[in-house]
């Protein structure tokens, strides 16, 4: 009986996550074949990482810019550069949808942890992933950079910061520091955001 209950709960959870992922993909599918404004720049940037075989230092001998690394944090392009070339674009684009869906799933878990029932949590997650004001359908969904990864990491950083400060949690602090480091390696705008927020939190708390 216990095993049956566990299996039912897991099946229900997987079904709910699957529904959230479908909700993330459905309104965005028409943009799947579009190219972002810096699409070819990102492909070039990934090629430099593939040529260098380094995770953080790209090969720049064919660049007209003395040091393009000042423009793009390395992590997103470096990760995609480890994939076979034919998988770079599908994984890069579909990864944007997956991150939106995963963030919405985290929202649902947070709501459950705060006492909401599963139906309310599922509704909140679906609302999160489908509201245009929260997830505008624009170039960030067809790019290969950090337009979606950056906000996703920032979202996790904010949750960890709340958990660390309000709950005085060591695990929250560790996740906050780790997430912040990943964000610095992934997104310029995300880096600027957490620097300003860290200063504000330092003054308030």
CA distance 183 to 146: 9
- Let me know: does 76 contact 149? Beta carbons within 8 Å: yes
> What average pLDDT does the segment 67-77 reach?
70
| pLDDT at residue 16, as a whole number | 87
pTM for the whole thing? 0.81
pLDDT digits (tens, 9 = 90+) for 88-126: 888 887 888 888 888 889 989 888 888 888 889 999 999
- Let me know: does 39 contact 64? Beta carbons within 8 Å: no
| Residues near 171 by beta carbon (within 8 Å), at least 6 away in sequence | 163
Place 68 in a pLDDT band, splitting at 50, 70 and 90: low
Secondary structure (3-state) at 53: coil
């Amino acid at each position: 009986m216990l095993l049956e209950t566990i299996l039912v709960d897991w099946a229900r959870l997987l079904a709910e996550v699957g529904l959230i992922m479908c909700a993330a993909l459905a309104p965005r599918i028409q943009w799947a074949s579009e190219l972002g404004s810096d699409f070819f720049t990102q492909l070039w940037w990934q090629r430099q990482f593939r040529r260098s075989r380094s995770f953080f230092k790209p090969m720049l001998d064919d660049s007209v810019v003395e040091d393009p690394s000042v423009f793009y944090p390395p992590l997103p392009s470096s990760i995609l550069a480890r994939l076979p070339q034919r998988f770079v674009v599908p994984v890069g684009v579909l990864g944007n949808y997956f991150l939106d869906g995963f963030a919405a799933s985290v929202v649902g878990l947070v709501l459950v942890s705060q006492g909401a029932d599963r139906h309310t949590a599922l509704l909140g997650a679906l609302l999160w992933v489908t509201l245009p004001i929260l997830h505008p359908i624009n170039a960030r969904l067809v790019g290969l950079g950090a337009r979606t990864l950056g906000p996703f990491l920032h979202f996790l950083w904010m949750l960890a910061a709340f958990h660390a400060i309000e709950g005085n949690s060591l695990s929250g602090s560790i996740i906050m520091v780790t997430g912040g480091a990943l964000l610095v390696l992934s997104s310029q705008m995300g880096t600027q955001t957490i620097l300003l927020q860290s200063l504000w939190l330092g003054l308030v708390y």
